[in-house]
Amino acid sequence: MNSDVQLDAKGLNCPLPILKAKKTLKGMEAGKIIEIISTDPGSVADFEAFCRTTGNELLESSSSDGIFTYYIKKT
């Protein structure tokens, strides 16, 4: 999937990946997509909850070898 912005949150633990994503999304236009890469296993539930509460759309999430990748569309 293509993204407009990439955020490397590897090595950061909760809540830092969410806080960095929130700050980055704030500066983005509606309809743009951010790709977030994290190593925090707790980020799976965190980003699902984050999107539910903020109204942003979680387009895709995947994991491979301890790396979690999320694509979120700003609404």
Query: Which are the catalytic amino acids?
Result: 14
CA atoms within 13 A on the CB side of 30: 3
Q: Is 32 exposed, middle or buried (0-12, 13-18, 19+ CB in 10 A)?
A: middle
